[in-house]
Chain A
Amino acid sequence: AQKITQTQPGMFVQEKEAVTLDCTYDTSDPSYGLFWYKQPSSGEMIFLIYQGSYDQQNATEGRYSLNFQKARKSANLVISASQLGDSAMYFCAMRDAYNFNKFYFGSGTKLNVKP
């Protein structure tokens, strides 16, 4: 079975500071993909960043980086220099090893950026 755990239901961060959103996963498969999505209040899920299980480097996309620690099965999202527009729900997801189009999602973390 595959499982994604996000232990932080809600978080606050001061504008311009960095914040880390935690994600741990559970799989016995050697090949998998990890994703982070952002869901603003408008409801649409927005893809942020991807990390493959065989990737040697941590993924980065602008202000987003993924702290991938394979042995600990963690894939934390780091947002640098937080902006007010970063306030949203954030979901960690893992792609099914046998079905590349099937994803498992965590329960999400609500991030609030304070001015």
Chain B
Amino acid sequence: DVKVTQSSRYLVKRTGEKVFLECVQDMDHENMFWYRQDPGLGLRLIYFSYDVKMKEKGDIPEGYSVSREKKERFSLILESASTNQTSMYLCASSEGADQNYGYTFGSGTRLTVV
């Protein structure tokens, strides 16, 4: 069974900490994405990547950065965590050719910044 795995289901971090959220996919997908999900706002795209070492800003990149050193791994970095970054973070991947099937998502990381 194909998988997108997010390393943590729940995280609690302090304001100002540097936070790493890890995502690994085993489908050899070219494209990977980070979204945040907030009640009433749906999913908003933070960053995405088409290839190793390639990244593009999504709709809400401020306060975040990403790293993709290997095809299967896409990391989201909160440089200095703030309380307004408390949210559910969802990683997804897709194969460009499989447009009819959309994304494959991970189970999410619920981050609380205190």
Chain A residues at the B interface, C-beta cutoff of 8 Å: 4, 6, 9, 33, 35, 37, 42-47, 50, 52, 91, 93, 95, 100-103, 105-108
Contacts and interface: CB of A to CB of B under 8 A. Distances in A.
A43 B108 contact: yes
Interface in B44-76: 44-45, 48, 50, 58
Interface of B: 9, 31, 33, 35, 40-45, 48, 50, 58, 88, 90, 92, 94, 96, 99-108, 110
A47 B103 contact: yes
A111 to B, nearest CB: 15
B88 A43 contact: yes
A89 B103 CA distance: 17
A106 B42 contact: yes
A91 B105 CA distance: 13
A33 B100 CA distance: 8
B105 A105 contact: no
A9 to B, nearest CB: 7
A44 B108 contact: yes
B40 A101 contact: no
Given A47-B103, A105-B35, 15 more contacts: A4-B42, A37-B102, A42-B107, A43-B9, A44-B108, A45-B92, A45-B105, A47-B104, A50-B100, A91-B42, A101-B33, A101-B94, A102-B48, A102-B58, A107-B41
